[in-house]
Amino acid sequence: MEQKNPRVEAMKQFNKAAEIMHLENWIREILSYPERVVEVYIPVRMDNGEIKVFEGYRCQYNNALGPYKGGIRYSPDLDRDEVIALAQWMTFKCALVDLPFGGAKGGVKVDPTKLSLRELENLTRRYTYEIISLIGPSLDIPAPDVLTNEQIMAWIMDTYSVIKGYNEPAVVTGKPVFLGGSKGRKEATGRGVAINIREFLKIFGDSVEGKKVAIQGFGNVGSYTALFLTQMGAKVVGITDSGGGVYNENGLDIQDLIKYAYYEKNIEGKIRRTVAGYPNADSITNEELFKLDVDILVPAAMENQITEENAGYIKARYIVEGANGPTTFEADEILLSNGKIVIPDILANSGGVIVSYLEWIQDKIGYYWDEAEVNASLEKRLIRVINEVYSTSKKYLVDLRTSSYILAIERIANAYRRRGLFP
């Protein structure tokens, strides 16, 4: 199967909405390009004494609404076009949920699971040094993404603070709570996916209770989505990750599966971190997962997972994008023609950036809310935006992805209309 270029896919989504809303050509032209893409080469001293050079990026796509905001991912398959696409999606995501942020994305082409802890720290600190002139609490605020976590963010914050000569927790979000992180941040993206499902089903006269769910990906997003949906009364029957998959028609015990998948070392002393081999379920492939007779499918892994090759096999009525860009443009058209309801990534997985915004505010003012306040603020904002997206879809007679883009683009366009263009 030919791998789709995520940059091309992102532009197809943008252009579809821009055409429908009759966006002015000058604004459309600006939003078609990133403001800058920085490529860095990162020398790292490995444990064996050798120096190895890694390729890294930071794309700052647009800052019309505020400082750039976006994650940092470590992935062996990372490339320039992927980073640009992710930064573009981030731009529209922040605008859609009405945050005073622009969009950015970055990362390093590396498999972090093959590095020691010391090598991972050396890589992270040197990458931070290479992009330090680009980031800052009022300039560009990174966050965790694929195969990065709060420890990576702590190293970035520390490196930035040491070089600047003062503590600056607001330079990144997704940090440990005791270093200025926000309570509820780790669970926020998965919680947001579950809230989207609950609220949209409510809009369509349906309920989460008793619904069968399949989830692709069991990292931070997939695992918490599964946990919250189970608590809402859904039955998660199938889950796959990079190591394999599991299926139980009676529903998986998510808390037990999390303990199994995230157990650091097994009796052979190896890190497991996969659902594969879980004893209380049958094994299943990723291809089989997408064909399951379920109500809800949550792709929460990587881009380009639902394509024109497999979209026609999907039985789920609701496809809820926990990952960024999991559905190609052509696959989206197939799903819509088959009567499927797609809750798009820029809305479905926006819970993480909403709580990142709250963390950023807390760091800037030096006052920290309790978890209940953070979760309540997340839910209130998401419910408002969900209803705005649905109303916009009715106004323009379009699908939820297109209505999400129309809302997001309009917010950025309004900034340009008032700010103008310098010089």
pLDDT in tens, 201-223: 999 999 999 999 999 999 999 99
Digit-coded pLDDT (tens) for 352-366:
999 999 999 999 999
Among 106, 104, 103, 84, CA closest to 95:
103
Digit-coded pLDDT (tens) for 180-201:
999 999 999 999 999 999 999 9
Digit-coded pLDDT (tens) for 272-327:
578 999 998 999 999 999 999 999 999 999 888 999 999 999 999 999 999 999 99
Sheet holding 341-343, edge to edge: 282-283, 244-247, 235-241, 212-216, 296-299, 318-320, 341-343
Asked if 340 contacts 316 with a C-beta cutoff of 8 angstroms, the reply is yes
Digit-coded pLDDT (tens) for 78-135:
999 999 999 999 999 999 999 999 999 999 999 998 999 999 999 999 999 999 999 9
| Amino acid letter, 380 | K
Q: What is the DSSP string of 53-66?
A: EEEEEEEEEE-SSS
Among 130, 118, 126, 294, CA closest to 212:
294
3.40.50.300, 3.40.50.450, 3.30.1280.10, 3.40.50.10860: CATH of 34-171: 3.40.50.10860
Domain spans in the chain, listed from the N-terminal domain onward: 34-171, 186-348
| Amino acid letter, 133 | S
Active-site pick, 4, 69, 93, 105: 105
Tokens representing residue 317 in the block: 């009525």
Could you tell me where the beta strands, DSSP code E, fall in 76-160? 103-109, 140-144
Asked if 57 contacts 36 with a C-beta cutoff of 8 angstroms, the reply is no
For residue 264, pLDDT beyond 70: no
- Nearest-10 crossing angle of helices 371-396, 400-419: 100
Is it true that 34-171 and 186-348 share their CATH fold?
Answer: yes
* This prediction's pTM: 0.94
Respond yes or no: is residue 105 known to be catalytic.
Answer: yes
Question: What pLDDT was estimated at residue 146?
Answer: 87
For residue 262, pLDDT beyond 90: no
Question: What pLDDT was estimated at residue 2?
Answer: 61
Superfamily of domain 186-348: NAD(P)-binding Rossmann-like Domain (3.40.50.720)
Instruction: Name beta bridge partners: 144.
Output: 72
| Amino acid letter, 129 | Y
% pLDDT > 70, the chain: 97
**CA-only gyration radius of the chain, Å:** 21
For residue 50, pLDDT beyond 90: yes
